[in-house]
Structure formats: structure tokens, C-alpha cells
Amino acid sequence: GRDREWNALTHAWRTAADGKGRVALIEGDAGVGKSRLADDLIRWISATGGTVLRGRAYDVRGGAPFGTIIEALRSGIDAPGLAGTDPQWLAEVARVVPELRTRFPTLASVSTPTSADGWRLFEGIAQLLVALTEEAPVAVLVDDLQWCDADGCALLHSLIRRLDGAPIFWCLTFSAGAVERDTPAARLVR
């Protein structure tokens, strides 16, 4: 019973895979099947050869900054193309995804970040995603976006804008009724 939505989502994926980034928002009340539709889509994308990264937001009071994006990056630790990321940018991302140091033990250490270094983390994640797209188009699923923290929303917004011309498909699920109208996630969705 979701043929129209399915066709819109698969069309958006194909457009992204052809090199024009796309964002799909699956919005609805809790329990209507947003995550199920997104999971089916992500399985289909994976079967068609896309690289899939998955992150889920949790109640912002209990999570780490950038937790949703960190979870998505961790899900792609073995993704083809990751090794093509410039080592300086991998080292930046390894500050928040230490598993990268296990996969790439020769990564240089990066000094403790200052507040002015935030852009380096954002750029490092962008460079990592671009490297992944050299092997296959990428789909990033962010489930339960309504719980994403302010830092994660800022990072997500930055990445979507920065990587608009890359073959990246952003699939976001969102329950508007679960949050206040002025949360970072609600502003991002608007």
C-alpha cells in the first residue's frame, strides 16, 4: 500500500546515484511504518550495489554530540572506498570514531581539538563520504531524526549542503509529534 512512496524513494535514490545528492524525509506519527519503509529501502539499495550507512538518533538528553552521525560512520567501517580517504581526514574523523585507528593503525595522531577545529571534523567527515562515493553511491539513513542533538543537526545540515553534488542519498525518518516545534531537528526538517 506504499507504492507511491516507494516509487518516490527509489526515484530519489536513482537520481542521487547518478551524481545529484538527494534528501528524502519520511515523516509521520510514531508506529505508522516509517522505519520499516526506510529499512526496506536500505536493503534494496544495498542489493543494488549502494553503500549504506545507518544511524539512529536517541533522546538528546542521553547521547553524545554527533552521536547519530558517529553511529552511521561506524556502520560503514568496512565500506569499500574508505581506504581512499586522505589520511589527514581519516585522522580527524578518528577523533570521534576511534575504530578507524584499528582499521588503519598507521593514522597519525591529531592534537586535542580546539573550538576552532570543529570545521576540520565536518570537513573530515565530508571527505570520508566523498571517498566512499568513489566506489559506489552512498545512502545515509538517519532514523528518528526528531531526537538528534543540536550538534548532530548542524553537522547533518552542513554535510547535506556541502555534498549536494555527490552521489549521496540522505534518508531521514521524523515524527513531528514527538518533539517541540523549535527543536534543532524540527528546524532542520523545515
Position 124 scores a pLDDT of 96
CA distances from 64 to 58, 61, 68, 124 (A): 10, 9, 9, 19
Note down pLDDT in tens along the chain; length 190 residues.
789 999 999 999 999 999 999 999 999 888 888 899 999 999 999 999 999 999 998 875 666 778 899 999 999 999 989 999 999 999 999 999 999 999 999 987 766 555 556 789 999 999 999 999 999 999 999 999 998 888 999 999 999 999 999 999 999 999 887 667 777 788 888 7
DSSP state of 176: G
Question: Cα angle vertex 149, ends 6, 31, to 5°?
Answer: 40
Position 93 scores a pLDDT of 95
Position 142 scores a pLDDT of 95
For residue 140, what are the β-bridge partners? 53, 170
pTM attached to this predicted model:
0.90
Residue indicated by cell numbers 516509517: 34
Position 102 scores a pLDDT of 93
Rounded to whole angstroms, the Cα distance separating 69 from 86 reads 19
Position 50 scores a pLDDT of 96
